[in-house]
Structure 1
Amino acid sequence: MTRHLLTIDALSRDELLEVLDLATAPLDATLYEDEPVALVFEHPSLRTRAAATVAVHQLGGWPVEFTGEEIGLDARESAEDVARTLAETFAVAALRVRRHAVLERIRAATEGRLALVNLLSDAAHPTQGVADVLTIAEAHAGGDVRALAGLRVGYVGDATNVTRSLAVALARLGARVVVAAPPGYQLGPGGPEDPLALGDALSLVSDPREAARGADVLYTDTWVSMGEEAETRRRRADLAAYRVDEALVELASERCVVLHCLPAHRGEEVTDAVLDGERSRVWRQVFHRRTAMLGVLAWLKGGV
C-alpha cells in the first residue's frame, strides 16, 4: 500500500512515532539508490527545499526540482495531468502547494502509484511538525519523543498551518498546547487537520500571557504568511500585542525554550533578544528539518 504524508492528522500515534524514530535512526544510504524524487515548489522555500534536497541525496536518491511557474498547476495544465505525468517517472513526489485540495486531487489521480509528501499547504505543514517534535524532545526529554506527556506548549500570534500540524503532533504524544491569538487569527474547526477535534489537549485563548505562563515551549510564526502581503499593515496592527519579547518569556517556566519555524521578521512577532537569546532553539529546528525529511522518506519506504 502506498504511503503518503499529507497531514499529521492522517497518521496514527504509532505511525507518527515510526516517522520520528526513523528520523534519528542510522542512515541507509542505499534506501533510494539511483531513484529520482520529484520536488515541486509553488511557493518560495529555503529550509524545506534544502532539507528535502539533502535528505534525498543522503538516502542515495537524486532530487529533481520544479518551480510552480515551470509546472503551472491548474494554469498550464490540470493538477491531475501533472500528477499522472509525474507518476510515469517518479515513485515519490514532495510538493509545496498553495491549496491543500491540489494534493488530494493528485493523490486521487495517481491511484496509489505516487507516494506524496506535503512540504506545506494552506492547511498543514507536517514535515515542520515532525521537526518541531524532534526539537522539543531534544530540549526537554533527551531526544525521547515518547516522554513529552504533560509538557505545556504555548503558541502566540497568527494561528496558521504550522500551528495546526504542531498541535496535532503534540496532542498525539500527550502534550498540551495553548494557542493565543486575536479574533480572526485563531484556529477554527474543520479542514483536513482539525485542531478542535483534539479536546482537552488544546486550549484557545486571546491573552498571550495565558499561553506563555508556565510554558515549557513558546512558539511563534510570522504575522504575514506567503500570499498575505497585501494585508501587511492590518496584520501588524491586529497582532501588535502578540510579540514574543523578553517580558513574555519571563512568564514561562525556567526551562522554557523558544521556537520559530522561520523566516522571522525581527521586531514584529519576535524580538532580536529572544530570537538570538539563550532560550532560542530555532537553529536546532532548522537542523531537524533535514532529519525530519529523512524520517519521512524512510517511512514512505516502509522503514529500514
Structure 2
Amino acid sequence: MNFPFPVLLCDIGGTNARFALARSPAAPLEYGPHLKTGDYPSFEAAVANALPRLDVKPRSLIACAAGPVNGRSVRLTNAAWSIDGVNVAEAAGLGQGLLLNDFEAQALALPALQPAWTKPIGGPFDTKPGAQLILGLGTGLGAAALLEIEGRHFALASEAGHMDFGPVGAEQAAIWRHLDASEHGRISVETVLSGAGLARLHRARCAAAGRIAPDFDEVALIENAHTQPNGEEAKTLRLAWTLVARFTGDLTLALLAKGGVTFSGGVLPRLADFLDPHEFRAHFEDKAPFGDMMRGIGARLIIAEDVVLPGMAAIAAAPQAYAIDYARRAWR
C-alpha cells in the first residue's frame, strides 16, 4: 500500500473543512484554505474549490470526517455531507485516497505530536504503555483510543459523545432539569459538552438559579467569559471543565487508558483560561476504588492548531506503520 505524493490532506468537521498539502514524505506541510462546510453542497464541491488554490495537482487524498466511517464512505453527523471516497477520487482525478473518522485520525496522530504543541494538565505528561485516549469538543464531542498491535498503530474509533450523560450531586441535578433534550429526546454527552452544548449548559444553569440567560451562541459565551472572568459565563465554562473531567475519567476507566489522556478539538483550547488543573485532577481521579490508578494517568491539552493534518501526512509517508484495513478502505 502506498499513497503517491503530493498528498492533499483534509480535516472535515461539522463547521469547517481544513486543507493542507504534503509535497513529499519529508516536506513540511503547506497549509491551504479553511472552508465552511455549510457553504458547499458536497465534499467534491469543496475539493474542487480548494484544488485551484494549490500550485501542484495532488495524486492522493487522506481526509478525516466527523461521522462514522463505513469502508470508503462516511455521513457527517452534524452536517449534510455524505462522502464516498471512490466518487471523490474520480471527480478529482486522484490515484489513491483514504477516509478516516475524525477522532480515529486524531488518535493516529498522537505519535506525531510535538511537546511544544501540548500543555500538561496538573503535572508532567509521560506517555506510558497501554491505550491512549484522545477526546475533544467541536460541533460535537469526539473520542478515540490509540493501541499498539504488533508494532503498528491502531485507532479504536467511537461515538462516545452520544452516550447518555447524567448529573452528579444536587447542583447538577437542578441544572439537568432545565436542559433541552428535544434534539434527540435524551441527554447525551454532546448535549452539554460540545460547541452548542456549552450555550445549552449556560441557559440551563441560569434557569436553575432563577435567571434568564441571554440567547447567544458558544462564541459569544466564550467571548463574554474572557471579558468578565468572574461572571456567569465564566462560571459555566468552569463547570464544563468539571464535566469534561468526570466524563473523561469514566471513559479512561472503560478503556483502561493507562497510556495517557489528550484533549483536542476546536473548543477546549479556547477554554484553557478557565481550567483549574487541581480541580480537574480531583474530578478525573474521583473513581474509587481505582483512584490510585487514575492518579498515575497523565493528561494534556493540545494548544496548537490543525495537528491532525501532520498526523495524516505521517500515515501517507509510512502507511505500513498503521494497522488500517487498506484493502477495504483505500479508494483504489
The structure in which a higher percent of residues are strand is 2
Larger radius of gyration: 2
Scaled by the length of structure 1, what TM-score is found? 0.43
